Structure 1
Amino acid sequence: MAQPTTLSIPSSLFEFERKSPGLPISPVGTYPESQGTESQVDYAAGSGATSPCYDNGHYQDKSDVIPENPFDSESSRVLFDAIDKLQSCGVSQELAIPQLVIVGGQSTGKSSLLQSLTDIPFPVGSGCCTRFATRIVSRRTAPGSRSSVKVTIVEPDVTDKFGYPPDDTYKEFPPYVTDHLGVEEFTQLMESVSPVQPFMFLTQRHLLQTLQITTNYMGIKRGKGHSTKNFASQVLRIELSGPSRSHFSILDVPGIFSYAHDVNEAEEHGVRQMVEEYMRQTANIVICVAAATADLSTQEIFKMAANFVDKSRLVGVFTKCDRLENPNEVIDIASGYGKDSTRSIKDGWFVVRNRSDADDEEFDFKEAERKLFSRSPWDRIPENRRGSVQLQKYLGNLLCAQIRGNFPAIQESVRKLLSDAKDSRKSLGEPRPNHSLRQRYIRDVVEKYHTVATKALKSPGSLAKDSLRSQSHRGASFVDEIREQLHIWQTTELPGMVNTEVIQILYKTQSEQWQRIAEQHIENIADDVERASNSILEDVCSPDNCSKILCEELARALTHFQHEAKQKALRELKEHCRRERETHLQTTDARFHERLQALRTVRLLEAIGNSFSSFKGLDLSSSKVLFHQLHHSIEGNMVNDVHDVVKVYYELSLEAFIRYVTNDIVEDFVSFSKGPLLGLSTDWVFTLTDEEVHRLAREDDETMERRSHYDGVIEKLQTAHEIAEKARIQTRNLGDM
């Protein structure tokens, strides 16, 4: 008998915040907490004895009485079967499905406890079932029906934590069905090695050896190194059925360990992360197993439970209680009394006896457990916390309450996930095996773009006059320029006359910046149009809802349209400016004479006013002074007159230039049918050759993979929806929900 060890339980394990009595459930989204679940469990836990999985027909026919069970009601059995089907149809990673999960460290007696709860003779100590999760499902069948055991491998409930290469070999495992599963048979099924033979020539023993789940289908290759694989994410499913069984389901996960003795270090972390994910799922009821013979403070699983599991869904179990010489401290903790009462989990701990190698199939384990815990000092623990029978009853009622309380939320989650998956699948379009479908696919996307672009198209505005005028000469500097040009060209004209080249040169000097400013204006508009067109394209054809190839090809086509349209606009501007510079100054605008005459009149009136204000009478001397002030041949007057001519002509020419750039160049650039905004159109699609259509609409690997992924997700969720809907209708008709 092992020497008792003083238990030191981490205080953090028992310092959970008191939550709502309901058992919460939260899948990918958030499920609402069910109300009153705890009261259902407490009431059911005291309603009578139950043995959810024990099948007398396999071993000893001790009683024909079927124990009371929380799943005795028809609606509860319907929901139980629905949950089991949901777990088996591959949606466990998308949905938070209520289940019982056993967690613990290695060598804590998990396998023995699991055998007590499920009546499956797990080979204790062999390690064959500790390298992947194992789900045991028990259900009662009609009286007189045959007992059956069915073994399958199903998809993982959690994401892969080990980083192994993808391997779908487990899907090839043929379901193994038998009417009895003994220790030897179970061991052969899991571990035995034999050359593969055709099934039709196999005996039962050879069939077991050929199946060899652990190696052939789970891919387990023990040891250290890159080529090894010591664990698997898939779930081994063992379904038990018989007339004397009860509805029950439980999941066992690999035990955590702190020292990677014969496995890779990364796998040690992978196991811990796998267990952690199971514990984090708020739909799961977590059964933490601790060896009563060990120091609880050294058992890492309870530190994890304190961090990841709400106290309302945590059940503690002491195993190996039959090996304790001084069980007082364990009894105090389990009973919730004495100096260690504050350490007790929510409703107290359960205590169970472990099976030993000496216990054969004829050994009455439950009777031995009853005798152990009915003696002093074990009888200090409440009766409903003593033994695996009471644990079965408690867990069965807990699972039943969890399923009933959260099934409506599961239904809603299935509907939402299915709708989202269908939307994502629809956005990828249908496969495009021929030219017509590929062309239609491009046209649909381009039409969406063209509709938005047409609505977004507005007048780009006019060229800012201030930006042009700010570059012209003003004030004294321009007058000096006029005077200089008059002096230069005076040699070609008689005194007092103005050479018309002076006006042309001055005008060209004033307007020489127009082309540069207009080019910058077009560049700015081109940038704005490019941003707008690219933004529209991203909205209607983003990689999230459209083929990545088509998105990239249309973006490339837009870039081509933008470049060609901008170059066309700049060429037209350059040609227009060339004509403006090389042609003679001329205008048919009547405003030229009106404005020039107005300026001359103002100057004349100012000159007359200045002259008469300084003379009392108009004598000969005064007349000469007035002549010099007014006559056009005087240099000052020539300068002013040239200034006025250039000013009026410049203003009218600037208006015409801005009007031409805005209406003829910019507007054409923006609204051109082959321009940067409207170039992508149905007409453009019909100009594409077969090769170009194939290049744009071809299926990329990523899209095909995503389409295949969503097809698989939709298929699974559709199955889940049918399962949930059928259960809803059945329970509604029963009127028991």
Structure 2
Amino acid sequence: MVLKHLTSDGLDGLYSEAHVNLLNAIDSLRSQGISHYISLPQIIVCGDQSSGKSSVLEAISGVAFPVKSNLCTRFPTELILRKTKDIAVKVSIVPHHLRNVVKGYRTEPRSVILAVVSAKNDYANQIVLKLAREADGSGTRTLGVITKPDTLSPGTQSEETYLSLARNQDVQFRLGWHILRNRDTDTESWTLNERDANESTFFLERAWSSLPSSQLGIKTLRDRLSNLLLHQIASELPELLEEIIAKLDRCQAQVDRLGRPRTNLNEQRIYLIQASQAFKHSEPITRDEYIGKVVKVIDRSRGRELPGMVSPMIVSTLFKEQSHPWKAIADNHLKKVWDLAGLFLDQLIRHVADETTVKNLQKILIEPALHDILQNVREKVTRLINSHQFGHPITYNKDFIEQLAKARHERQKMYFERTLRDALGHSGLTSSRISVSTSIDDLVRKLSELQENDTDRRAASKALDCMTLYYKVAVKRFTDDVAVEIIKSGLVVKISRVFSPLVVSLMSEDVITQIAGECNESRQKRTELERTIGVLQKGVDICKMFSRYRVNVLRFGQ
């Protein structure tokens, strides 16, 4: 590639006052290295071999590329052009795998793709259209460019085919198509002005003149690209800012977990104490925020209830209580709570410490402590089960007495009603009012026989009533005991004490170094993250600074 009589004529078509500030914004972001982390708007020229890509770039930019029939450019070329008072050229070669580079440029979601198609060959056989569709399936950011129209014979089917393509009738792109007549081997010595003049004459004399003038020639292409890039930048700026901020937050969170450099024992102890403080205290949540979370649970669990009503199953979803059999349920419940507690503990430690410290904490401190806690709560479950299943039942719950008396009253009422109906000869009647004559002695005798003959059954019935009602009382007490004595006191409280400032302060120097000693990988990671944060923060500042120009561009459509 050579620079031959480079002027700013081509750049004039790419610039306006509205462009300067927004393009400078993107340049500033790119110069800070933002493009390594975030996709930035740019124009990409791609096409098959010898389709005329270099000639398109030359016509747009004024930078002359070698144009020969037996020569093709074997590497991607990136041009960054700006008007300044001083003339300067900076050229660099970045080694990389060719196809990966091309694919990387093409798949950038904020790029405008110029798909160059040579009229010298059947467009259906040119791979660039397939690649453009892969990168931009909806065709919203692709502009087709037809080159070498002078190779088509006037009035032929081939010329008509490419005219149809130019009208966006065959391969449709939202941005449409554009036609260029570029330099070739015979006209290599032409200046850019001579090239542009020859192109204008060509389009006046051929069937291409039937197309809108806005689709013909390099001058109108510069205008189209100018507006496309400008609006692409203006439209993407808010989302670009959000993406940079999100990336910045993620990097900052990683740096926070790594903490400050800790090369000596004192720095290591401070790091562990700070991590243990963050481990011990949860982040507060307001009532409104928590209600919002519950609303989502209700939406996911909605059944047949009317609007405004809450299903009783919500309580079950939130508290997950089970009742039978006790031993199996208690063990199963403990296992579930234990697994969740372990998962939460792992996530919590990873939230407050870097990966190396997490591994050391788990191996040296967390896993041994959790093993002891699990053994202890299992023993407590066994003792709790034994206290209910062995020995005589005992309760001072007033509900037990009241419910027992009520059950006996209802059963006695049923017995007497059945006996009276039998004695009066009206066992099949359902009416509560009857009129009959009977002997008082016979009635008393039947009632007396009922009491005497049913003594064993009455005793068994009373025992069954007591067992049933005691079970209802005991299962409530057992459930509370599991929640309070096993889960809360035996598990949650003790887990919260596994990693505390007090535990850290009592650690020996060797243990602290084993846990919090920093490896080279962590130090390198922190350095890289801090550099990235600096780049992203500058990107945020730049986007905010130039956001006012975006409003003007979108308002006036310039």
Contact 1:319 1:351 in 2 (8 A): yes
- Output the CA distance in 2 between the equivalents of 1:521 and 1:373: 85
Which residue identity lines up with residue 348 of structure 2 in the other structure?
Answer: V
- Match of 1:696? 515
> Which of 333, 344, 360 in structure 2 is aligned with 1:553?
360
Matching of residues 258-277 of structure 1 within 5 Å: 271=99, 274-277=101-104
- Match of 1:118? 61
* Matched residue SS, 1:727: helix
Following TM superposition, by how much is the alpha carbon of 1:692 offset from its aligned partner in structure 2, in angstroms?
1.0
TM-score normalised according to structure 2 size? 0.61
Contact 2:153 2:159 in 1 (8 A): no
Q: Does 1:360 align with 2:189?
A: yes
- Match of 1:96? 39
> Which of 105, 109, 114 in structure 2 is aligned with 1:278?
105
Matching of residues 239-250 of structure 1 within 5 Å: none
Following TM superposition, by how much is the alpha carbon of 1:110 offset from its aligned partner in structure 2, in angstroms?
0.9
Contact 2:42 2:229 in 1 (8 A): yes
- Output the CA distance in 1 between the equivalents of 2:183 and 2:238: 39
Which residue identity lines up with residue 354 of structure 1 in the other structure?
Answer: R
Following TM superposition, by how much is the alpha carbon of 1:124 offset from its aligned partner in structure 2, in angstroms?
3.5
Which residue identity lines up with residue 118 of structure 2 in the other structure?
Answer: A
Following TM superposition, by how much is the alpha carbon of 1:541 offset from its aligned partner in structure 2, in angstroms?
0.6
- Output the CA distance in 1 between the equivalents of 2:488 and 2:11: 86
User: Deviation string for 1:664-701 (max 9, x for gaps)?
Assistant: xx889956999665343322212212121011012245
Contact 2:276 2:501 in 1 (8 A): yes
* Matched residue SS, 1:288: strand
Following TM superposition, by how much is the alpha carbon of 1:77 offset from its aligned partner in structure 2, in angstroms?
0.9
Matching of residues 37-436 of structure 1 within 5 Å: 58=6, 69=13, 71-73=15-17, 75-124=18-67, 130-132=74-76, 134-141=77-84, 145-151=85-91, 153=92, 213=93, 218-219=94-95, 232=96, 271=99, 274-309=101-136, 310-326=138-154, 328-329=156-157, 331-333=159-161, 335-336=163-164, 341-342=169-170, 345-346=173-174, 347-356=176-185, 359-360=188-189, 364-436=194-266
Contact 2:45 2:115 in 1 (8 A): yes
- Match of 2:419? none
Which structure 2 residue ranges, 5 or more long, are not aligned? 283-322, 383-477
> Structure 2 vs 1, CA of residues 713 and 668 (structure 1 numbering), >3 Å: closer, same or farther?
closer
- Match of 2:346? 538
Q: Does 1:716 align with 2:524?
A: no
Which residue identity lines up with residue 139 of structure 1 in the other structure?
Answer: R
> Structure 2 vs 1, CA of residues 684 and 672 (structure 1 numbering), >3 Å: closer, same or farther?
farther
Larger radius of gyration: 1
> Which of 246, 266, 269 in structure 2 is aligned with 1:439?
269
Contact 2:214 2:220 in 1 (8 A): yes
Following TM superposition, by how much is the alpha carbon of 1:433 offset from its aligned partner in structure 2, in angstroms?
1.6
Which has the higher mean CA deviation after the structures are superposed, 544-553 or 393-402?
544-553
> Structure 2 vs 1, CA of residues 440 and 285 (structure 1 numbering), >3 Å: closer, same or farther?
same
Following TM superposition, by how much is the alpha carbon of 1:438 offset from its aligned partner in structure 2, in angstroms?
0.9
User: Deviation string for 1:182-224 (max 9, x for gaps)?
Assistant: xxxxxxxxxxxxxxxxxxxxxxxxxxxxxxx4xxxx34xxxxx
> Structure 2 vs 1, CA of residues 711 and 672 (structure 1 numbering), >3 Å: closer, same or farther?
closer
User: Deviation string for 1:66-93 (max 9, x for gaps)?
Assistant: 99746322x4311111112223332225
- Output the CA distance in 2 between the equivalents of 1:548 and 1:121: 52
Contact 1:352 1:369 in 2 (8 A): yes
Which residue identity lines up with residue 709 of structure 1 in the other structure?
Answer: E
Contact 2:34 2:535 in 1 (8 A): yes
- Output the CA distance in 2 between the equivalents of 1:668 and 1:280: 52
- Output the CA distance in 2 between the equivalents of 1:533 and 1:340: 61
* Matched residue SS, 1:100: strand
User: Deviation string for 1:96-146 (max 9, x for gaps)?
Assistant: 3222111111121111221121111223369785323x22233333xxx44
Contact 1:332 1:341 in 2 (8 A): no
Following TM superposition, by how much is the alpha carbon of 1:418 offset from its aligned partner in structure 2, in angstroms?
2.3
- Match of 2:406? none
Higher percent of residues as helix: 2
- Output the CA distance in 2 between the equivalents of 1:140 and 1:670: 72
Following TM superposition, by how much is the alpha carbon of 1:568 offset from its aligned partner in structure 2, in angstroms?
7.9
- Output the CA distance in 1 between the equivalents of 2:252 and 2:349: 18
CA RMSD of aligned residues (A): 4.8
Identical residues among aligned pairs (%): 20
- Output the CA distance in 1 between the equivalents of 2:258 and 2:51: 50
Which has the higher mean CA deviation after the structures are superposed, 317-326 or 294-303?
317-326
- Match of 1:239? none
User: Deviation string for 1:407-438 (max 9, x for gaps)?
Assistant: 33323333333233323322322221221221
- Output the CA distance in 2 between the equivalents of 1:343 and 1:328: 20
Contact 1:70 1:400 in 2 (8 A): no
TM-score normalised according to structure 1 size? 0.48
Contact 2:10 2:61 in 1 (8 A): no
Following TM superposition, by how much is the alpha carbon of 1:713 offset from its aligned partner in structure 2, in angstroms?
2.0
* Matched residue SS, 2:529: helix
- Output the CA distance in 2 between the equivalents of 1:396 and 1:330: 31
User: Deviation string for 1:4-52 (max 9, x for gaps)?
Assistant: xxxxxxxxxxxxxxxxxxxxxxxxxxxxxxxxxxxxxxxxxxxxxxxxx
- Output the CA distance in 2 between the equivalents of 1:429 and 1:565: 30
- Output the CA distance in 1 between the equivalents of 2:334 and 2:375: 10
- Match of 1:24? none
* Matched residue SS, 1:103: strand
* Matched residue SS, 1:716: helix
Which gives a bigger RCO, structure 1 or 2 (Cα 8 Å, sep 6+)?
Answer: 2
- Output the CA distance in 2 between the equivalents of 1:100 and 1:672: 60
Count the aligned residue pairs. Answer: 418
- Output the CA distance in 2 between the equivalents of 1:342 and 1:572: 77
Following TM superposition, by how much is the alpha carbon of 1:706 offset from its aligned partner in structure 2, in angstroms?
3.6
Matching of residues 401-550 of structure 1 within 5 Å: 401-451=231-281, 531=339, 534-542=342-350, 546-550=353-357
Contact 2:146 2:177 in 1 (8 A): no
> Structure 2 vs 1, CA of residues 121 and 421 (structure 1 numbering), >3 Å: closer, same or farther?
same
Following TM superposition, by how much is the alpha carbon of 1:320 offset from its aligned partner in structure 2, in angstroms?
2.1
- Output the CA distance in 1 between the equivalents of 2:133 and 2:490: 66
- Output the CA distance in 2 between the equivalents of 1:282 and 1:673: 47
- Output the CA distance in 1 between the equivalents of 2:330 and 2:161: 83
- Output the CA distance in 1 between the equivalents of 2:533 and 2:186: 48
- Output the CA distance in 2 between the equivalents of 1:696 and 1:275: 46
Following TM superposition, by how much is the alpha carbon of 1:289 offset from its aligned partner in structure 2, in angstroms?
0.7
* Matched residue SS, 1:534: helix
Contact 2:255 2:529 in 1 (8 A): yes
Following TM superposition, by how much is the alpha carbon of 1:292 offset from its aligned partner in structure 2, in angstroms?
0.8
> Structure 2 vs 1, CA of residues 393 and 330 (structure 1 numbering), >3 Å: closer, same or farther?
farther
- Output the CA distance in 1 between the equivalents of 2:42 and 2:190: 29
Following TM superposition, by how much is the alpha carbon of 1:287 offset from its aligned partner in structure 2, in angstroms?
0.8
- Output the CA distance in 1 between the equivalents of 2:112 and 2:216: 19
* Matched residue SS, 2:81: strand
- Match of 2:453? none
* Matched residue SS, 1:695: helix
Which structure 1 residue ranges, 5 or more long, are not aligned? 1-54, 154-212, 220-231, 234-266, 453-463, 468-516, 575-658
Contact 2:244 2:539 in 1 (8 A): yes
